[in-house]
Amino acid sequence: MEKLTVELGSRSYPILIGDGLLEEIGRHVAPLLKRPRTMIVTDSHVADHYLRRVGTALGNEGISFSSFVLEPGESTKSWAGLARLTEWLIGEGVERSDHVIALGGGVIGDLVGFACSIVKRGCHFIQVPTTLLAQVDSSVGGKTAINVPAGKNLIGAFHQPALVVIDPATLETLPRRELGAGYAEVVKYGLIDDADFFAWCEANGAALLAGDSAARRKAIAHSVAAKARIVAADERETQDIRALLNLGHSFGHALEAETGYSDRLLHGEAVAAGMVLAHRFSAANGICPAGDAERVRAHLASVDLPHSLASAGVNSDGKALAAHMAHDKKVRGGKLPLILTRGIGQSFVTEDYGLDAVAAFLDG
């Protein structure tokens, strides 16, 4: 087992990573509890595979629990889902000192984290991520949210978990397409500030996606360490440090919006194409070598991820796409900070480029 820490003073918390950790999760949860009781929240896909295993491990440590199984899918991260979950928690007699377990992907983690930030003005929660995306990204850092009709993740809070337990073996049941989408976020850490890790991805990404467990563990540990470092340096994204995690995301959000946030294009798939566009836009403006942009495109294409507007299934014009970017919640003072790059592993935040320039580039 590997152990990392997110250093946030009195709110610091450990991240445990190891194949088979679900089977001993009770041992890691028990020391946190004031009373031997917890509540598990999950979705029905994950419940089918892992709920019993987690329950048995808790039982082995004398911890009693109740469980709440939600519908899988993004639509669960809604006002309605939040109302049902918070009312269930209250009905279960949740106390402020309790720790609720979020067992699932980013949808469950974001919803449970938000519910736990407001129920009884806040209780604790534990992230047990079961998708690659959640294991390398959403389970760490304390961003929680639901979606509303006006947009994704617009209502939420910063609420850090008390513990993150990552069992990479859970990825064995994850559909290949979801695995690929999570892998895009792994590649992102290389592109942000770690050219050696991008080279590692070029050499090992295909094996990881084919099920190589050593490659999977290494990618998760490396990614989570990067995320933990970034979050510790800039928890609430008030400097330009945490914003770098949005590399590929402004372009990506435009693609997601254009495809209606649907199964046509998963978030990670949009990010893959978005990262290529960010590199190509940087190259078009003479700040990034064209060869680096091509390397990024070639790697993502080689693992069957979208790497262009066409391969993302989008044929809208640049103006329509840039209009979506103008609604990004990161817009400040009417300007959208873009994450651009001077080359692989050399990303930075800039407000030097207007959306008209982006629109013209996308039409080019």
Ligand X SMILES: NC(=O)c1ccc[n+]([C@@H]2O[C@H](COP(=O)([O-])OP(=O)(O)OC[C@H]3O[C@@H](n4cnc5c(N)ncnc54)[C@H](O)[C@@H]3O)[C@@H](O)[C@H]2O)c1
SS3 349: strand
- Name which of 44 and 97 has its Cβ closer to ligand X: 44
Site map 286..325 versus ligand X, x via CB under 6 A: ----------------------------------------
Please state, in angstroms and rounded to a whole number, the distance separating the CA atoms of residues 324 and 127. Answer: 31
Which of the residues 322 through 361 are near ligand X (CB under 6 A)?
none
Please state, in angstroms and rounded to a whole number, the distance separating the CA atoms of residues 357 and 364. Answer: 11
Residue with tokens 């976020």: 185
Q: Are 219 and 136 in contact (CB under 8 A)?
A: yes
| Given 159, 188, 242, 299, the catalytic residue | 242
Which of the residues 64 through 93 are near ligand X (CB under 6 A)?
72, 74, 77
- Name which of 61 and 178 has its Cβ closer to ligand X: 178
Site map 28..67 versus ligand X, x via CB under 6 A: ---------------x-xx--x------------------
Q: Are 346 and 244 in contact (CB under 8 A)?
A: no
| 242 given a catalytic annotation | yes
Cβ-based neighbours of 283, under 8 Å, separated by 6 or more:
289, 290, 292, 293
Please state, in angstroms and as integers, the Cα–Cα distance from residue 193 to each residue in 239, 244, 361, following that order: 16, 9, 25
| 153 given a catalytic annotation | no
**Residue 234 lies near ligand X (rule: CB under 6 A):** no
Give the residue, chosen from 19, 110, 167, 202, that forms a contact with ligand X under the rule CB under 6 A.
Answer: 110
Q: Are 309 and 362 in contact (CB under 8 A)?
A: yes
Please give the size of the binding site for ligand X, defined by CB under 6 A: 28
| 249 given a catalytic annotation | yes
- Amino acid at site 350: T
Q: How far is the CB of 154 from ligand X (least distance, A)?
A: 11
| 204 given a catalytic annotation | no
| 34 given a catalytic annotation | no
Q: What angle do CA 323, 251, 267 make, to 5 degrees?
A: 115
- Name which of 51 and 338 has its Cβ closer to ligand X: 51
| 237 given a catalytic annotation | yes
- Name which of 25 and 108 has its Cβ closer to ligand X: 108
Give the residue, chosen from 39, 70, 133, 275, that forms a contact with ligand X under the rule CB under 6 A.
Answer: 133
Q: Which of 169, 173, 198, 196 is nearest to 186 (CA)?
A: 198
Give the residue, chosen from 143, 242, 279, 297, that forms a contact with ligand X under the rule CB under 6 A.
Answer: 143
Please state, in angstroms and rounded to a whole number, the distance separating the CA atoms of residues 201 and 190. Answer: 8
Site map 242..281 versus ligand X, x via CB under 6 A: -------------------------x--------------
Could you write out the DSSP letters of every residue in 251-303?
A: HHHHHHHHTTTSTTS-HHHHHHHHHHHHHHHHHHTTSS-HHHHHHHHHHHHHT
Q: How far is the CB of 261 from ligand X (least distance, A)?
A: 9
Q: Which of 362, 109, 148 is nearest to 250 (CA)?
A: 362
| CA atoms in the 13 A half-sphere facing the CB of 347 | 32
Strand residues in 110-234 grouped as ranges (E): 124-129, 143-148, 151-158, 163-166
| Given 246, 256, 258, 299, the catalytic residue | 246
Site map 174..203 versus ligand X, x via CB under 6 A: x---x-------------------------
| Given 99, 227, 280, 297, the catalytic residue | 227
**Residue 136 lies near ligand X (rule: CB under 6 A):** no
Lookup: tokens for 56: 């048995």
Q: Which residues bind ligand X (CB under 6 A)?
A: 43, 45-46, 49, 72, 74, 77, 104-108, 110, 130-131, 133-134, 137-138, 141, 143, 152-153, 170, 173-174, 178, 267
Active site residues: 121, 143, 185, 227, 237, 242, 246, 249, 253, 267
